[in-house]
Amino acid sequence: MDTVITLTLNGEMVSARADQTLLDIIREQKISLPTLCHMDGLSERGGCRLCAVEVQGAPRPMAACVTPVSEGMVVRTHTPELEAYRRMVLELLLAERNHICAICVTNGHCELQWAAAQAGVTSVRYAYLHPDLPMDASHGRFVLDHNRCILCTRCVRVCDEVEGAHTWDLAGRGIQARVITDLSRPWGASPSCTSCGKCVQVCPTGALFAKGATVAEMTKEHDFVSWIIRGRTKREWVW
């Protein structure tokens, strides 16, 4: 039998299973909490820190997506400090690379843009770095634009965990970190890429897009990841 955990979430007592994360419970309670690196069906990375919550007794905000529930926890999801923290995270992401929405293929369909709008980011207080990063258009169907990448690694995880190809990976550290294909070969020369396009669909920004898409044309489909995982778990395609 599953162990039942009781915790306090925004002043209300809630129950959880011991194997759940704070984000699971927050979503179950229909509380809106922004996320960028999280994607249903993929392993958690805890990298973007947008899902930060306050846990009583913890010295700093905790990423809800990678924090397991525990008995007696007291959690708050929306305080003035947390809202300010999330705005700061979003501003740093916007300042780090080039996110000029007006010329982006995912303008209007971008999760970074949505999260910034929802958090009330109207300007960026930090100096824009705007590095001049390359684009990789060597693939026959897709393009990688490093300038739009926020290093959420959804592409890396979906390629490894769902497609099983492990074409994508991360190289470099800190400000030099980049997503790469097959040990930094051009994407079009990748022997492991199956051209399935899963990486493109899960990318939250315009970093990965279909060739030929122009400004604001590129929409993304996410639901297929949960659908595939559910089908595999229930062995729906095994005869």
Footprint on this chain of ligand FES (rule: CB under 6 A): 35-38, 46-51, 63, 65
Residue type, 89: V
Token output for 172: 């470099």
Whole-number Å distance between alpha carbons of 162 and 39: 12
Of 47 and 197, CB closest to ligand FES: 47
Of 16 and 37, CB closest to ligand FES: 37
Of 37 and 159, CB closest to ligand FES: 37
- In whole angstroms, the minimum distance from the beta carbon of 50 to ligand FES comes to 5
Residue type, 33: L
- In whole angstroms, the minimum distance from the beta carbon of 48 to ligand FES comes to 3
Whole-number Å distance between alpha carbons of 97 and 175: 10
Q: Tokens 């759940």 label which residue?
A: 20
Whole-number Å distance between alpha carbons of 182 and 45: 21
- In whole angstroms, the minimum distance from the beta carbon of 129 to ligand FES comes to 21
- In whole angstroms, the minimum distance from the beta carbon of 189 to ligand FES comes to 31
- In whole angstroms, the minimum distance from the beta carbon of 153 to ligand FES comes to 10
- In whole angstroms, the minimum distance from the beta carbon of 30 to ligand FES comes to 17
Strands 168-171 and 142-145: what pairing? unpaired
Whole-number Å distance between alpha carbons of 113 and 82: 19
Whole-number Å distance between alpha carbons of 26 and 8: 11
Of 54 and 136, CB closest to ligand FES: 54
Of 49 and 97, CB closest to ligand FES: 49
Which helix (DSSP H) or strand (DSSP E) does residue 89 occupy?
helix 80-96
- In whole angstroms, the minimum distance from the beta carbon of 96 to ligand FES comes to 15
Token output for 37: 């690196």
Nearest to 77 by CA among 8, 16, 18: 8
3-state secondary structure of 148: helix
The DSSP code for 127 is: P
Of 35 and 181, CB closest to ligand FES: 35
Of 86 and 99, CB closest to ligand FES: 86
3-state secondary structure of 74: strand
